[in-house]
A and B are shown apart, each in its own frame.
Chain A
């Protein structure tokens, strides 16, 4: 009986240690930020920023949830900036910022601003900077296997799964006042997720995209504020 208890205790400790180790590993997301400044920046309290996702690529598009996440984080905390929601801006500017018609270069923005309706709307919103976000999160290096069974006496899953997420996003900042590109910020975040299953699957997910969003928003906020 004592021998059984020791074995059981040993297994529990081993399982718990494994879970803690995996949880610690899952928390390890590495994020790299590169900033390239091409001009002076700064923003007044009555001015705003709009963050737009690029959707011209054929095989992916920048998710609106990521765009919203960056906008929400820029709009709060120290040095918060007025951020116009993407959909509100695109609808108000319709049809000038649709995937087919959106300006790809600052030269195109210059032509667009020559349209009175566009310039008036831009002024109504108080837009000082347009931030173009382009990128996606890719899942690679999937490994392991999990099998689940169900029977009259109950069910359960056994196995182990793992994968790596890589989020890579570029943010180009256009100054609507000078109609120039004032800088580019690149964020690259990677992290390993694990899914051990001992009767019940326990997801240990690396928050790769959330980290990319948080770091990019902080960097963008500083960049726009000119600090």
Chain B
């Protein structure tokens, strides 16, 4: 009787363990991003986070085509831009709609978008590093919506394999390095983008 009592929960546990082993693993990117030490530009800028950026997630598939890792990085990108932009410009406001830009009386509206996300895992590349590569489209427009600049930025992050670290933690670490790379290249190259440089010269 007592043996039967244990048999059902044990079977259920084994079944669950099997299902967990086969399921998709969700990695929500989390990290802290320092404020850049750079000279501020005398600009009032509005930033618009499109819904596609807010909800951005990348799905990595196994070699058999099964869903393996769901990497959610939308909110960490927003946290990163919220740390970087106030260090770059005199005043920064987040707007919920592009229509709010005129009322916000800003010099420009900045819209970051993720175009592509790639993940390279050691079990597939046979290298001893986890790698994350992200391609962005950065858009700058006037408050009225007129074009100022539209440019592509890429960021890259890698982290070495370590014995007692999970794949999820390694993916998170590589993504955080990639986000820091984005912040450094974006903040240092912003005023070197030809269209932005021309626009700044006119102000």
Residues of A within 8 A of B (CB): 59-61, 63, 91-96, 98-101, 116-118, 121
Contact = CB atoms under 8 A, between A and B. Distances in A.
A100 B37 CA distance: 16
B38 A117 contact: yes
Nearest to B127: A59
B129 A95 contact: no
A60 B159 CA distance: 9
B34 A60 contact: no
7 contacts: A61-B129, A94-B36, A95-B187, A100-B181, A100-B184, A101-B188, A121-B37
B130 to A, nearest CB: 11
Nearest to B187: A95
B83 to A, nearest CB: 10
A96 B127 CA distance: 28
A83 to B, nearest CB: 20
A93 B34 CA distance: 9
B42 to A, nearest CB: 16
Majority SS at the chain B contact face:
mixed
B84 to A, nearest CB: 9
Contacts of B181: 98-100
Contact of B185 (A63, A96, A100): A100
A95 B184 contact: yes
B77 interface: no
Majority SS at the chain A contact face:
loop
B43 to A, nearest CB: 18
Contacts of B184: 94-96, 98, 100-101
Interface residues of B, number: 21
A63 B160 contact: yes
Interface string B160-192: 100000000000000001001101110110000
Interface of B: 34-39, 127-129, 156, 158-160, 177, 180-181, 183-185, 187-188
Contacts of B36: 94-95
Contacts of A99: 177, 181
B35 A94 contact: yes
A61 B177 CA distance: 13
Nearest to B156: A100
Given A60-B160, A94-B183, 12 more contacts: A59-B127, A59-B129, A92-B34, A94-B34, A94-B36, A94-B184, A96-B37, A96-B184, A98-B180, A99-B181, A101-B184, A101-B188
Contacts of A59: 127-129
A89 to B, nearest CB: 11
B172 to A, nearest CB: 16
A93 B38 CA distance: 10
A61 B187 contact: no
- Shortest Cβ-Cβ A-B pairs, 7 listed: A95-B184, A94-B34, A98-B184, A91-B34, A117-B37, A95-B36, A101-B184
A120 to B, nearest CB: 9
A93 B37 contact: yes
A167 to B, nearest CB: 14
B160 A61 contact: yes
A91 B32 CA distance: 10
B183 A95 contact: yes
A94 B127 CA distance: 28
A101 B182 CA distance: 11
B37, B129, B187 — which one has the most chain A CB atoms within 10 A of its CB? B37
B180 A60 contact: no
B38 A95 contact: yes
A94 B181 CA distance: 10
